Amino acid sequence: MSDSLSAVLGSPPETLHPGGLLDADDKPALMVDRQGRHMVVNAAFARLLGLPGMALIGRRLEEFTPDGGAMVERGLRYLDAGIAVPEQEVVIAGRRYLGAVVPVRDEHRRVVAGLVRLTSIGEGVFRTRRRELPAEIQRQRKWMDPLTGLPNARCCAAKLARELVLLPRSGDALSLVLVELDDFRSYEAPADGVTAEDCVRLVAETAAGVAHRPADLVCRVGESRFGTILPHTDAAGAVRVAERIRLAVRGLSIAAGHVPGTSVLTVSAGVVTVTTRPLRARDQRDAMLALASQALAQAQTQGTDQCVAHVLAGT
């Protein structure tokens, strides 16, 4: 773990003793990896838990706060989407704190860890936060889909434009996969079957489980349509991801008698890849979205439950 942290921070492993990185903070502070494991803690955090700092390294945050796992998952969705993580309330050692998170990225801009600083809150601050919460939730809804918890279409468009700006002039690729449930508007859940909303949630979880690299981002961009942004992924790699999503959804075996020629719910996919940084990122973004939609429509027209891919020339 020291070696991986050294690669992230550019520090030799021997300097990564507990508190060595964060002791300038008098507030409890820690760094956790994408699995929620403590990578580094400062002395204030170790004192809070009443344990030696070295005893915390490698242990999961959820051991010390019940919703630690959910906090890490929520935070990663924001960070991977390029959205600032809202402060979160957390109870540790019987005391309430506000946790502020900033991302730690590797040389490929992937989020590999989160740096968390805790501020103790009294009852007055707690009540103020409760009053502010509705407005904060409203701000978050600009970027997140409330049904699935994924980033929404607005976030997808912003992230795609940002990745195009960051795309190297040559030697790399950026891909977009659009997947959509086939004939979903005709879906009628059996009396004891999966509801339409549950179908959407299941496909969201399935797509997010397949496109799980730190730089990947899965968004809900329509009623039953999902966009997956795949940095550093060529056309062949993007088709493999699309096929894994397609087969994984078929493997859910959700009854779908309304779809001709199949007994289970399926998805089709449209894939588009660019290999050159564009002069105008927004124009290229719009072109990618349009071409991926065309590829998706072509896949559905050809018989559903399949994938069509295109490569878009740089502009």
For domain 153-312, which CATH number applies: 2.40.30.40, 3.50.30.50, 3.30.565.10, 3.30.70.270? 3.30.70.270
Which CATH architecture does the domain made up of 2-141 adopt? Answer: 2-Layer Sandwich (3.30)
Q: Identify the pLDDT of residue 3.
A: 42
Asked if 276 and 171 count as a contact pair (C-beta separation under 8 A), the reply is no
Residues with pLDDT less than 50, the chain: 1-21
Residue 148 and residue 220 in contact, taking contact as beta carbons nearer than 8 Å? yes
CA dist 289 and 56 (Å) reads: 45
53 close to 43: Cβ distance less than 8 angstroms: yes
Ranges of each domain in the chain: 2-141, 153-312
Amino acid 1: pLDDT: 36
> What pLDDT is attached to residue 194?
76
pLDDT at position 98 is 82
Predicted pLDDT of residue 207: 94
Provide the residue type at 278 as one letter: P
pTM of the model: 0.69
CB proximity list for 70: less than 8 A, separation 6 or greater = none
